[in-house]
A and B are shown apart, each in its own frame.
Chain A
Amino acid sequence: MSRVVASGVGYTIDGEDLVGSVDLTVAVGSLVAVVGPNGAGKTTLVRLLSGEITPTRGSVSIGGLDPHRADPMDLALVRAVLPQQTFLHFAFRCLDVVMMGRHPHGDGGAEAKALEAMTVTDTTQFASRSYPTLSGGEQTRVSLARVLAQDTPVLFLDEPTGSLDLSHQELIMATLSGLARSGSTVIAVLHDLNLATRYADRVLLMDRGRVVADGAPVEVLTVAAVGAVYRVPVEIVIHPSLGYPVILPSDAGAGG
């Protein structure tokens, strides 16, 4: 069974292909990492898949819904989206922000569900703090709690770990992996290739608007592929105690 399907999806603006033709089928219960260098089209691809922007060609389906025809509220019960950053200039309490994630479900039990989601992202201590006063990483965790509170089978996350410290990166990735194990479909843009190799079931490697490799992390993130796409020589070593592959820039890159 597939939850997210893209057929020949592309996005062209001012004659430039931000995303080429992407065909993609994402199954139920998987964590897909979208990786690639800056400007590769990762964010644009996620915005296309989540229905936020309309593709200039091709089509998308999320849980059987066409995101551009479906009622926005029906769509909001199927998929949640975490943007790179949420700028909020009004002094909402963090609990209020997370409770906004319950909007598609109506009011019943919103606070309990919100607090549950805040426990998962380790943000209950911020419940009555004003959101704009938090640091960038704290804001990301509160926003992630909002997305989890929306309680949808499909999640699109643009750099959920971008501004997080080491322990919270692990916490969030383990949470996302757990969601995938319990049947959710999670599509996340990641910059840290080692988080992708360790937690993702599948990796999409993007370069210049195209998906250049798609498959299991060890198949996609090879020395040759990563070196070619990121234009930096890398080595892959095995983690001494945990045994999974770790990607490191190699010495040859130091001289430039």
Chain B
Amino acid sequence: MSGDHTWRVNGAVLFGCLVLGLVVAVLASLGSGAVHISPGAVVGILLDHAGFDGSGSFTSQQDAVLWSIRLPRVLLGIVVGGGLGIAGAALQGIFRNPLADPQLIGISSGAALGSAIGILAMEAAIGTLAGPLGAFLGGIAAGAAVYAIARNQGRTEVVTLVLAGIAVAAVGGAGAAFLSVVADDPRLGSALFYSLGSLGVATWRLLAVTAPFVLAAVILLPLAARRLDLVLLGEREAGHLGVDVERLRIEVLLLATVAVSATVAAAGVIGFVGLIVPHAIRLVAGPSHRLLLPASAVGGALLVVVADVVARTVALPLEVPVGLLTAIVGGPVFLWLIRRTRREHGGWG
């Protein structure tokens, strides 16, 4: 059979490999840094905190570093990467557009500006939820603006979507950086945080505020997997097959924005994760969302955890913004994707 696609990796195998990779990356990340902790000691400390009698082959300094600093940071990396990965996959599906990355279409930067405004305006009144809530409102506003501009006569124009996204992203990113400089408020992130992200502010408390939003998206978006497959066939075709496309679009946009906004409020704008992870998974295992959505969550988590461990160990004692690493990897991958798409489908016009 010519053009047979049996080379595709079985979904369960791919998913298993990603989970295994994530476990290895997590153990490596927990052990790496100024204070070295061996994998055995990492497991011992974790078991100790889980109530089992640890083997005791670790120091109290190692315990403190792992439990109070590294573990919340690694878990936040999983949450942030998972949220960005699944949101990117879902947005690309609902827009039928492989360029629909949360950062490229402006949601991330809108969320960054919203988060800064939310902290300044509401934190005194409503506490730690002010950041994520402001981020969500900013992300929704940015996403809605870009979508409204790109929508024309029942179609979403690819080029307009990306161009509008660039403009909205520029305004949101600049606005967040402006507030960060002018307000000079320690509760706000630095300009660098809003443009390149960091997991350096991770605490158990921040993790507790962020995780539920991302978890909601990770649990609920896969329920839309089959309908998203049908939308790839065409919005009209999906309608003929019984999908309420307008409702699905609102559901997916809301869930993706909730996840992205929560990650931006916690870790700033980390680019390319939502773009390259779903692309890589489609390339290996095909475009079906039943595998793509959960695998993009795990793949995104893996990418961010790996990028973060490199970010905080490559230039010790300095720490590099994690978004620099995802961009250094993501930029070239993206260029390759553009060339590959042009070769296969004549490009995106």
Q: A residues within 8 Å of B by Cβ?
A: 50, 52, 72-77, 79-81, 83, 86-93, 96-97, 100-101, 103-104, 125, 128-130, 132-133, 150
Contacts and interface: CB of A to CB of B under 8 A. Distances in A.
B282 A103 contact: no
7 contacts: A72-B244, A83-B234, A86-B233, A90-B287, A93-B5, A101-B241, A128-B6
A83 B236 contact: yes
B240 A81 contact: yes
A92 B287 contact: yes
B288 to A, nearest CB: 7
Contacts, number: 80
Contacts of A76: 240-242
Contacts of A87: 234
A91 B282 contact: yes
B226 A103 contact: yes
Contacts of A91: 5, 282, 286-287
Contacts of A88: 232-234
Please tell me the size bucket of the interface on B: 20 to 34
Interface string B76-119: 00000000000000000000101000000000000000000000
Contact of B242 (A86, A104, A133): A104
A69 to B, nearest CB: 13
B30 interface: no
B243 A89 contact: no
Nearest to A76: B242
Contacts of B53: none
Contacts of B230: 100, 103
Interface of B: 1-6, 96, 98, 226, 229-230, 232-234, 236-237, 239-244, 282, 286-288, 344-345
Contacts of A52: 236, 239-240
Contacts of A92: 229, 232, 286-288
Classify the secondary structure of B's interface with A. Answer: loop
Nearest to A47: B236
A55 B98 CA distance: 34
Given A91-B286, A100-B229, A130 B241 contact: no
Nearest to B243: A72
A80 B232 contact: no
A74 to B, nearest CB: 8
B1 A129 contact: yes
Given A91-B287, A100-B233, A129 B241 contact: no
A129 B4 contact: yes
A125 B1 CA distance: 8
